[in-house]
Structure 1
Amino acid sequence: MGPKEVQKIGTAMATLERVTRGEIDQVLEEFLHLVEDQTSLGIGADDYVRSVLRSALGDDKAEGLIDRILLGRNSKGLEALKWLDPRAIAEMIRNEHPQIVAIVLSHLDPDQSAETLSYLPDRMQSDLILRIATLDGVQPAALQELDEILERQLSGKSTAKSSMIGGVKTAANILNFMDSSKESVVMESVQQVDEDLATRIQELMFVFASLVDVDDRGIQTLLREVSTESLILALKGAEEALRDKIFRNMSKRAAEMLRDDLESKGPVRISDVEAAQKEILAVARRLSESGEIVLGGKGGETLM
């Protein structure tokens, strides 16, 4: 199990209270029923997956997908990093070659990668985002070298051509989780080096204004997960179209109360508005990852 799954289970365990004997018996009965239905289809799954994908897509197109499914799964050293604190990861990799650091950051979850990046020197951050955005594949030898640095042995297949790590979307995802001030500095540096690449990254970044492209059901789901105070702060810097969409997806009474709160709210700092928007975006991404909402649209302009 991965770190996030363990955290979810731990949270669920911590909130359990007053579980009855009947509930326990019912859960155990359901578990036994599921176990009894299991078969041996998973045996030899790697070879089966390779065979099916190559038959369907051809050797060239299938190879990258096979790497992502099988090779990435077997990168024990990289996977072990996901259990570490971002500050510890930063200390571990800060003196490594920038390309190695870029591979590590690409492999981590975007929120963990963003926090790790924030602990690295400012002069490194824009260079690493550039390297991540231009990664289009990593040779198994490079992954082997990385796992040796981490004192782990790579168990991936030696026949793989490359592992699908990095790219513009990965860079955009990492920047989405960075503090707004640092994000701006990094993007300015990237733009100075490669304006076209900076534009492509910005187009893939999901910003607060992008919520206007989420469907009504998704907005309603999101609103149930965010606090009123955060919503008020975030909407202080939102365009009218997004405000209207939020109001339309609330009850009439709730919308009127929110409008009143917005009007009565005095001047607020831009940093507070951006922090609230980042908080809501983090919730939106979590709901998107769990399949509860679908995020659509491209990034908008940065708030000033």
Structure 2
Amino acid sequence: MTSLDTIEIEEPMNAVPAPLLNRVDRAAVFLMLLSDEEAAALLSRLGPDQLEQIGAAMCQLGDIEQAEMAEALDDFVGESAREILAQQDRGAQVRGLLERSIGPTKAESMMMRIDPDPGPRSIEMARWLAPALLLKLVEDEHPQVIAALLLMLDPEPAAEVLSALPNHIQPIVVERVARIGPVSQQAVDMIDKLLSQRIGASFGANALALGGAREAANLINLAAGDLRGTVLPAIAQRDGPLAERIEEELFTFEMLFELEAQAMERLLRDVDSEALVDALKGLKDTERAPFFKAMSSRAADGIRDEIEMRGRLSRGEVDAAKRKIVEVARSLAEQGEIVMGGDDGEFV
């Protein structure tokens, strides 16, 4: 009789070795084997969650062995043998190819001929916004509109938007989410139009053209925290001229506090009084001082009275008024009538 400790258990001849990488890591390795242009083209077809997973894997992978590269390529070959070319986002793919071949203007004209009824662009764009920025676009809307939009977002960002809403609004929105049923095409079109208007007002008239230094600056202005102090230096390390273009567009409302008296007087001549009252209502007394200092005593007293009589304003209304004033200041600065940014040469 053979004892148990002398028995050698042989591996089956057809045993499959354990994979070296998980699926996400294999996808990340495959992308790194492609040229930058090819990899970018593939990444552009992923959603936000997929991009986050792939990007994290690409950053975290150490040295990649030849066996791991072979495994990633084998996985791609195996998947391609089972896949079909999905129709989803085919219009965006065709648009991208046309823009690269004949330019954006001709491509837009051609897409209007071959795809006259594209899907809602602003709703898709909203999916890429950080929840804090998305909240600024819809926090003053009817709960039914907010509920419908949350149903169109991925669950995680939708939950973040919900948690950031005022406490008394949250149960109303959740109840409407539970009751809403299928969202009609008319409702989708209405929300798409609303978002188009809000995105344009917040990030610039050409926001849906996707991109530009001004849009990047507006995002920094709206985001919480000192993004100017962290994001711009990081961009400057990779692309100095781009960081400079963003910096040139980065006018903030707080910069107005540093305006010289003559420049403030010039600004106030072009500022709508309603916007001024709404903006000042959201400021502390010390922050209002530079504005009142540039007015006559009578005008300043009148504005103070209007601020006192003004009812409660939402943060969105105050921010919208501030943006109107900043746009006036931006226009005057571009015309050379005022100087923003102090004497450090950042803005001329």
Bin of the TM-score, shorter chain as denominator length: 0.3 to 0.5
Larger Cα-atom Rg: 2
Higher relative contact order (CA 8 A, sep 6+): 1
Q: State the TM-score, normalizing by the size of structure 1.
A: 0.37
